[in-house]
Structure 1
Amino acid sequence: FMDQNNPLSEITHKRRISALGPGGLTRERAGFEVRDVHPTHYGRVCPMETPEGPNIGLINSLSVYAQTNEYGFLETPYRRVRDGVVTDEIHYLSAIEEGNYVIAQANTNLDDEGHFVDDLVTCRSKGESSLFSRDQVDYMDVSTQQVVSVGASLIPFLEHDDA
C-alpha cells in the first residue's frame, strides 16, 4: 500500500525506483558497484535519497525533473546552447545521448541575452568534468536542483548538510 502520511511521503513513494524484484537483483547478490552512484545517474536518480541497511543503493528516488521515455529509459532536461547562446529550448536526454555532448552547469554565469560571461565554462562530457570553451558547449543544466529528488531538494543549504 502507498504511504499517505503527508504529501511529501506520498510523492516520494510514487517516484521511488527499485533494482529488486522479478528480473532484477537480490539484496544478497548485489555488490558495491551496483549500489554505488554512477555518472549516468546525474539528473535521473537522486544520489542522496536511498534507505540505509540491506537496501542501500537498490531502492532509489527519481530526481526532480527526471522522466521516462517511451522505451523506459530515464531522461533529464537540458537547455539547448546554440553558438554560445543559451536558449529556452528544452531537450530531454537519456544517459546514452548525454555522453555525446558537452553540458554546462546550471550555475554558469550568463549575461542578459544568454551569452556565457566567461571564456572557459565548467562542463561535463563523457562523465568527466572539465573546462571547455564557451563555443564548445552544446547544452546547459536546467536547474541546480535537477540532481536531487523532491524530498532532498527541500533541505535548506543542502550542500552544507553533512547528515
Structure 2
Amino acid sequence: GGLTRERAGFEVRDVHATHYGRVCPIETPEGPNIGLINSLSVYARTNDYGFLETPYRKVVNGQVTEEIEYLSAIEEGNYVIAQANSNLDENFRFTDTFVTARGEHGESGLYRPEEIQYMDISTQQIVSVAAALIPFL
C-alpha cells in the first residue's frame, strides 16, 4: 500500500494552507507527478519531531522585534501573522491603522497593529530557492 501516481487525487496534489513557508507552491513537475514531488521553502526546517517549521519575527505591542521564532503549522494557527511587506516606521512599528494579516486558522483579514503577534521574515518565505531566483516574484 502506498500512494501511486494513478491513484493520487486532487486532495493529495493540491496546495494546503499549512504549506505556507514550508513547501513551495510553485516548484512541482508538470505531468503525472504534479503536486506529488515538492520542494522545501527557502527558510523551512524540520524540528526534532520531523515537522516542518518556518520562521517569524515576534511582534510585541505593535512593534516588530528582532526575535525570530520557528513555528509549525499547528502552532501557527493560533496566532495573527502580518505579511513581510507591511509598512513599518524607523522604530519597527506598523504605520497603518489596519494591517493585512493571517488570523487564527489561516483566515486573511485586517487587524489593528496591537493584535499582530508575528510577522513573516521575508516576502520570499513561501517559495523554494529555485522559485526565489525568479526576478519578478
Fold agreement, TM-score > 0.5 = yes
* 1:81-126 deviation line (CA, Å, top 9, x unaligned): 0011000000000000000000000000000111100110000021
Among all aligned residue pairs of Structure 1 and Structure 2, give the percentage whose two residues are the same amino acid: 76
Aligned residue type for 2:123: T
- The Cα of 1:25 is off from its aligned counterpart by 2.0
Q: Which residue of 2 aligns with 1:94?
A: 72
Q: Which residue of 2 aligns with 1:11?
A: none
Which of 1 and 2 has greater Rg? 1
Residue of structure 1 aligned with 2:28, choices 50, 55, 66: 50
Query: Could you say what the CA RMSD is over the residues aligned between the two structures, in angstroms?
Result: 1.0
CA distance in 1, matches of 2:130, 2:9: 26
**How many residue pairs end up in the alignment?**
136
TM-score by length of 1: 0.81
CA distance in 2, matches of 1:79, 1:31: 36
Divergent runs of 4+, >4 A: none
Q: Which residue of 1 aligns with 2:57?
A: 79
Does residue 65 of the first structure (1) align with residue 63 of the second (2)?
A: no
Aligned residue type for 1:104: A
Question: What secondary structure does 1:152 align onto?
Answer: helix
Aligned residue type for 2:25: P
In the alignment, structure 2 segments of 5+ residues that lack a partner are none
In the alignment, structure 1 segments of 5+ residues that lack a partner are 1-22, 159-163
Does residue 128 of the first structure (1) align with residue 107 of the second (2)?
A: yes
With over 3 angstroms needed to count, the CA separation of the structure-2 counterparts of 1:28 and 1:80, relative to structure 1, is same
TM-score by length of 2: 0.96
CA distance in 1, matches of 2:3, 2:128: 23
Question: What secondary structure does 2:38 align onto?
Answer: strand
